[in-house]
Homo-oligomer: A and B are copies of this chain.
């Protein structure tokens, strides 16, 4: 999937009956995407606006359906911003998707159900010349890595983790936002489906053929580095995860970062869902990530991001961040609580 949404594009986000609480992708798009959200589709909340529910984002109307959205906006794409359990397509959304395609909008979906394989949508899209982009499907032309990502001029920063769900995507996006705030030309390389929906491009690296995973990372870094001075790569999994470590290793060696940011959730002691596997000391992660990177392309563990949601008290959170930084031997922050700019200088 190549870049399909530019900063001057605008989209409609479908989030019927689930905005904002059960619409993580929709909220992520509102919070982090470069492109404009022109309207949100939610028949249960139509009539209100986005900031009635989510403060601190650009406002947009919430409307009943795609017809209503087209009455007041001229969007480039429809983004499916919710995902039912199992990733199925909800047939009640069909009229909205049909209307979008007929109006010349691309449709971007992270569902397991591929819109491009739906006979009606495929035929319609063919007629109107729009793209149906199923972000869970990796491109068919992936190849093995050529070992070239270290050649780029851009500074490359990869988030890594002590486990899954330690805030790699959020940390990456907060770093991108903090860098841009400072006037730095920063790019974001999305490697998972929510990141891809937010960015409007990317490859779901965990769904690629194992031999091509590093190649997918390399391709994205080369592409992003051509357009930006600093590239922040969204990490996946953990190098000590019993199931997903291979994806993490492919990302590390494929993207060849200059700097690493270790993300961790304060207080966790076992790998989530694999409770018999202990989370080793932070020092072990630093050694492992750096020593694994070194023979291929040296990378420095330059900063840490700690999720301190476990602490109600800001002082306790500050103490936890300080202790985490000591274990890392590098500056740390909680990018949500204390801001990502606290570690930005250490990554540039």
Contacts and interface: CB of A to CB of B under 8 A. Distances in A.
A206 interface: yes
A246 B250 contact: yes
B215 A211 contact: no
A147 B211 CA distance: 22
A295 B280 contact: yes
A82 to B, nearest CB: 22
Contact of A244 (B144, B277, B292, B295): B144
Contacts of A248: 246, 249
Given A147-B276, A274-B147, A277-B147, A296 B211 contact: no
Contacts of A210: 205-210, 213, 246-247, 250
A202 to B, nearest CB: 15
A211 B192 CA distance: 12
A300 B26 CA distance: 47
Nearest to A207: B209
Nearest to A216: B210
Contacts of A254: 242-243
A262 to B, nearest CB: 14
Contacts of A243: 144-147, 211, 214-215, 253-254
A146 B273 CA distance: 9
Contacts of A276: 147
Interface in A28-79: none
A247 B246 contact: yes
Nearest to A151: B276
Interface stretch (A7-15, A283-291, A310-318, A339-347): A283-291
Contacts of A284: 295
A148 to B, nearest CB: 9
B295 A292 contact: no
A108 interface: no
Contacts of A99: none
A337 to B, nearest CB: 28
A141 to B, nearest CB: 15
B277 A245 contact: no
A186 interface: no
B291 A287 contact: yes
A71 to B, nearest CB: 42
Contacts of A280: 294-295
Contacts of A208: 209-210
A22 B295 CA distance: 35
Interface of A: 144-147, 205-211, 213-215, 239-250, 253-254, 274, 276-278, 280, 284, 287-288, 291-292, 294-296
12 contacts: A206-B209, A206-B210, A207-B209, A209-B209, A210-B213, A239-B292, A246-B246, A246-B249, A277-B295, A278-B295, A284-B295, A288-B295
Given A243-B254, A245-B253, A288-B292, 13 more contacts: A144-B243, A146-B242, A147-B243, A206-B211, A208-B209, A242-B254, A242-B296, A243-B253, A246-B249, A246-B250, A246-B253, A249-B249, A280-B295
Closest 6 CB pairs of A and B: A246-B250, A147-B242, A249-B249, A145-B243, A240-B295, A246-B246
